[in-house]
């Protein structure tokens, strides 16, 4: 039976329903990204600027999806638009090197502690795939350690440890990935001590689901020590945290330098783009040598039609320059702190179980569980975590927030374009959503 929340959404979005009817005949589940699956149908956006976007039914939305985390500057930032427009007039692809790629890589080196060298890709999935391959090529070992539910893209080596979606991956590949529980260094140490075929350890440094299930900061330091002791490559997947958790990413925020890091999202200023940055000797596994045997059997061959393409390089270098020279991160963090404070005050006032927590400009609203939380690293028991991530509760929260003018669900990725008014309106929308959830008996 449809809830009042669902009925409101359906009544207010007839054009979105029409588009979905068409899309179902074109795409699996009618969508082009798994995260856009939504019952009874997803929304369709016509345009966006700053912190807001408008769906095709005319509703203005405060946006906390922010391009799946790519748009810390906000939608349609004028400097990025100008840079891409200028480059469009000069050319979109030269099949050649450009000054833009040098500027772009220079900014990565300037901001990222581990970035001795850089290699550009077209997506975060490509970047993590390359980082894992670099670790294997450099060490001559086969296995990668990752952690339960940490997301590193959709390629074969990234998928073990995910709740679903393992179709088509050969058993031989699955057997080269070791999935461990996070935050327990003794398990990692035991694994590396007993298996001499581990090339690398990869993780989301703030925790899985963009930090929704947090990593204890001390675990990062422990990983650095243990991997160094066993000669294993430490990889931070900074596709989300890069240039967000701080100008230098999570590694800059926590002062723990990995051997390699993968980047995308903010890296390319809202256009497609990825990179691996890290130790020169690891990145140089791509470099040709005067050694035929090495080039044939150890070197990593790496092509890619849109690697460092001029449009992404123009957008990315413009965005990173703004991050380097203006208080982008400080503003985003301040708005996130205001939102976190406002949500927690609202929950307390309404005597609603839950909390808002998170690191830097990524905030998570966890409902349905009374628990202790320090406001930053909120680690729940497995039982409480299951309650807080109940699918019906999260789905209803997402839809209710949207009908009240906010696209977030339980995750809020803030940027420098969000204003105090946006944040305060968001807290008000969340309060109305909590009332809706209570009316439906979900909270």
Dihedral angle at the C-alpha atoms of 235, 241, 242, 246, nearest 10 degrees?
A: -120
Confidence of residue 82 (pLDDT cuts 50, 70, 90): very high
- Under the banding of pLDDT at 50, 70 and 90, the label for residue 162 is confident
361: CATH = 3.90.1150.10
Average pLDDT over residues 404-416: 96
State both tokens at 408: 């977030």
**Structural domain harbouring 288:** 78-325
Domain boundary among 261, 292, 325: 325
Domain boundary among 295, 325, 355: 325
**Mean pLDDT value across residues 82-111:** 98
Sign of CA dihedral 126, 127, 128, 134: positive
Does residue 185 sit in the same domain as residue 36?
no
pLDDT at 380: 87
State the average pLDDT over residues 415-429.
Answer: 98
Identify whether the C-beta of residue 163 lies closer than 8 Å to the C-beta of residue 149: yes
Whether 352 has a pLDDT exceeding 90, the answer reads yes
**pTM of the full predicted structure?**
0.96
Same domain, 224 and 332: no
Distance CA 48, CA 375 (A): 31
User: What DSSP state is assigned to residue 358?
Assistant: -
Instruction: Give dist(CA 361, CA 264) in Å, integer.
Output: 17
Tokens 């935050």 map to which residue? 183
Q: Are 128 and 155 in contact (CB under 8 A)?
A: yes
Residue-wise burial string across 380-390, b where 16 or more C-beta atoms lie within 10 A, e elsewhere: beeebbebbbe
**What is each CA distance from 50 to 64, 353, 405, in whole angstroms?**
11, 32, 15
Q: Is residue 348 scored above 70 in pLDDT? A: yes
Tally of structural domains, the chain: 2
Q: How many CB atoms lie within 10 A of CB 376?
A: 14
**One domain for residues 251 and 306:** yes
Mark whether 50 and 139 lie in a shared domain: no
Residues 160 and 270 in one domain: yes
Q: Which residue has the tokens 């980047």?
A: 263
pLDDT tens-place string over residues 172-226: 999 999 999 999 999 999 999 999 999 999 999 999 989 999 999 999 999 999 9
Query: Pairing relation of β-strands 354-357 and 45-49?
Result: unpaired
Same domain, 335 and 300: no
Are residues 107 and 189 both part of a single domain?
Answer: yes
Average pLDDT over residues 430-436: 97
pLDDT at 408 over 90: yes
Q: Of the residues 325, 342, 362, which one is the last residue of a structural domain?
A: 325
Rg (CA), the chain: 22
The pLDDT > 90 percentage for the chain reads 92
**pLDDT at residue 1 greater than cutoff 80:** no
Same domain, residue pair 135 and 49:
no
Arithmetic mean of pLDDT, 110-124: 98
The dihedrals phi and psi of 154, each to the nearest 5 degrees, come to -110, 5
Same domain, residue pair 246 and 381 = no
pLDDT at 144 over 80: yes
- For residues 101 and 215, state if they share a domain: yes
Specify the DSSP class assigned to residue 44.
-
**63 & 82 share domain:** no
Supply the pLDDT for residue 375: 84
| pLDDT at res. 304 | 95
Query: 116 and 21 in one domain?
Result: no
Q: Tell me the sheet residues that pair with 50.
A: 75
What pLDDT is recorded for position 388?
86
């Amino acid at each position: 039976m449809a809830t009042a929340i669902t009925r409101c959404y359906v009544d207010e979005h007839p054009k979105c329903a029409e588009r979905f009817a068409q899309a179902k005949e074109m795409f699996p589940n009618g969508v082009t990204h798994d995260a856009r699956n939504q019952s009874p149908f997803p929304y369709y956006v016509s345009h966006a600027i700053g912190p807001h976007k408008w769906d095709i039914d005319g509703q203005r939305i405060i946006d906390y999806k922010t391009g799946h985390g790519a748009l810390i500057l906000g939608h349609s930032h004028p400097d990025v638009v100008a840079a891409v427009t200028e480059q469009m007039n000069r050319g979109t692809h030269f099949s050649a090197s450009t000054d833009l790629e040098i500027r772009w890589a220079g900014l990565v080196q300037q901001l990222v502690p581990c970035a001795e060298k850089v290699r550009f890709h077209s997506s975060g999935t490509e970047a993590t795939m390359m980082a894992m391959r670099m670790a294997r090529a450099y060490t001559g070992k086969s296995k990668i350690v990752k952690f339960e539910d940490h997301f590193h893209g959709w390629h074969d080596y990234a998928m073990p440890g995910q709740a679903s979606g393992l179709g088509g991956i050969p058993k031989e590949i699955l057997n080269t990935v070791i999935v461990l529980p996070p935050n327990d260094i003794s398990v990692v140490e035991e694994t590396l001590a007993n298996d001499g075929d581990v090339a690398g350890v990869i993780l989301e440094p703030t925790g899985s689901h963009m930090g929704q299930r947090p990593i204890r900061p001390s675990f990062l330091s422990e990983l650095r020590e243990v991997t160094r002791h066993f000669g294993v490559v430490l990889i931070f997947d900074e596709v989300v945290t890069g240039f967000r958790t701080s100008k230098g990413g999570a590694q800059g925020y926590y002062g723990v330098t990995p051997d390699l890091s993968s980047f995308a999202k903010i890296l390319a200023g809202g256009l497609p783009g990825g990179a691996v940055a890290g130790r020169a000797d690891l990145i140089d596994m791509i470099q040709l040598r005067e050694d035929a045997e090495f080039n044939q059997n150890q070197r990593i061959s790496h092509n890619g039609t849109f690697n460092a393409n001029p449009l992404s390089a123009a957008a990315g270098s413009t965005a990173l320059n703004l991050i380097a020279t203006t208080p982008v991160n400080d503003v985003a963090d301040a708005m996130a702190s205001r939102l976190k404070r406002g949500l927690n005050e609202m929950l307390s006032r309404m005597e609603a179980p839950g909390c808002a927590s998170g690191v830097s400009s990524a905030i998570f609203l966890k409902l349905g569980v009374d628990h202790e939380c320090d406001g930053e690293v909120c680690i729940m028991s497995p039982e409480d975590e299951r309650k807080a991530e109940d699918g019906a509760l999260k789905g209803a929260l997402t839809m209710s927030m949207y009908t009240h003018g906010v696209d977030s669900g339980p995750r809020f990725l803030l940027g420098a374009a969000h204003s105090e008014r946006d944040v305060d309106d968001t807290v008000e929308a969340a309060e109305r959503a909590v009332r809706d959830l209570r009316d439906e008996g979900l909270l």
